[in-house]
Amino acid sequence: MTEIQYKGKNYPIHFGLRAINQFAKQTGSNFNDVVTAADAVSTLDALVSLGTIGLNEGAKRAGMEDRYSEEEIWEWCDEQPRLILDIADIFIESIKPLSEKLDGLIPKV
C-alpha cells in the first residue's frame, strides 16, 4: 500500500474501485472520466476530495480507526503544499494498472 508523509508521519493511501466509485458519485462524474484522470486531477477541490477518499480507504485497509475530513486535508495541504502533488501522482500511478486490468475485461465492440 502506498503512503504519504505529513509532518514526519506516514499515512496509508489507497485508490481502488471503491475509492474511484465514491469519487465519481460525489462529483457526478462517470467512471471513464475518473480513470482517465481528466476530471479527477483538474482542480484543487477534486484533488483534496480524492485525497480524503484515498486516505480513508488506506486507513480502513490498514485496520486503522482514523478517518479524515476534507477540511483536515485542506489544512494538511496548506501546511505542506507538496501533498497536493503527491496525491495527484499517487492517484495517477494507482489507476494505470487498474485501467489496464479493466480494459482487458471489457469486450471490444
59-78 tens-digit pLDDT: 999 999 999 999 999 999 99
Q: Residue 38 — pLDDT band, cuts 50, 70, 90?
A: low
What is the percentage of the chain residues whose pLDDT exceeds 90?
55
Task: Count the alpha carbons within 13 Å of 2 in the hemisphere toward its beta carbon.
Answer: 20
**Sequence-ordered list of residues with C-beta below 8 angstroms from that of 26, at least 6 positions apart, any chain:** 49, 53
Any idea where the domains of the chain sit in the sequence? 2-105
Examine the pLDDT at 57 and tell me if it is beyond 80: yes
